[in-house]
Amino acid sequence: MLTQIGIVPDEVVAADVDEKPRRGELPGALALRLATAKAQHVAKRFTGDFVLGADTVVACGRRVLPKAGDEQEAHACLKLLSGRRHRVFGGIAVVDPGGTLHGRRVMTTVAFKRLTKGDIQGYLAAGEWRGKAGAYAIQGRAGAFVSRVNGSYSNVVGLPLYETAALLAGLGYGGGGAA
């Protein structure tokens, strides 16, 4: 997604962090905590560089929806989202070359149409739900389920591009690569 805004990372590194919510942790706080943990974890290997960490959390009320591990869990997520509004929280965190951490949280509200059994079965069969927060990808077939988006569309895809670009620009990042 970064290449869409003219940023080509020098390297993309997966950060191994525990993504389970803490007891009583709100969805927005979780997204920012995970983004921060990822950035800090990777920054240990890339001192003196800009390091970006990000995470996306889908929430229905205070309930955090999982990255569905199987079809049954994905089905439960889609049934819960059917005919309702939910929120997508994006956490972005940057460790600057001096080692200082900067973070932002972005919230987007998404409304789903009422899903039929056929909608759900077809989506599950297509497999797009795998590895997706809330078991859907708005940029794919699930786009047909979305009746309204209020806020950053790219946040729902996985990275709030406007806010990420603004954060990096504010920190003096001039492009040409980031870890």
Indicate if the pLDDT at residue 178 is higher than 50: no
In the chain, the domains with their CATH numbers are 2-17+24-170 (3.90.950.10)
- 27 touches 87 (CB < 8 A): yes
| pLDDT tens for each residue of 33-42 | 999 999 999 9
Residue 176 binned pLDDT confidence (cut-offs 50, 70, 90) = very low
Q: Residue 8: what pLDDT?
A: 85
Percent of all residues in the chain with a pLDDT value above 70, rounded to a whole number: 97
Q: Give the mean model confidence (pLDDT) for residues 11-27.
A: 91
| pLDDT tens for each residue of 101-158 | 999 999 999 999 999 999 999 999 999 999 899 999 999 999 999 999 999 999 999 9
Q: Residue 175: what pLDDT?
A: 58
| Residue 12 structure tokens | 């993309």
The H-assigned helical ranges of 13-160 are 27-43, 71-81, 117-126, 153-157
Q: Among all residues, which ones are annotated catalytic? A: 55
How far apart are alpha carbons 109 and 21 in whole angstroms?
A: 20
pTM of the model: 0.92
| pLDDT tens for each residue of 54-83 | 999 999 998 999 999 999 999 999 999 999
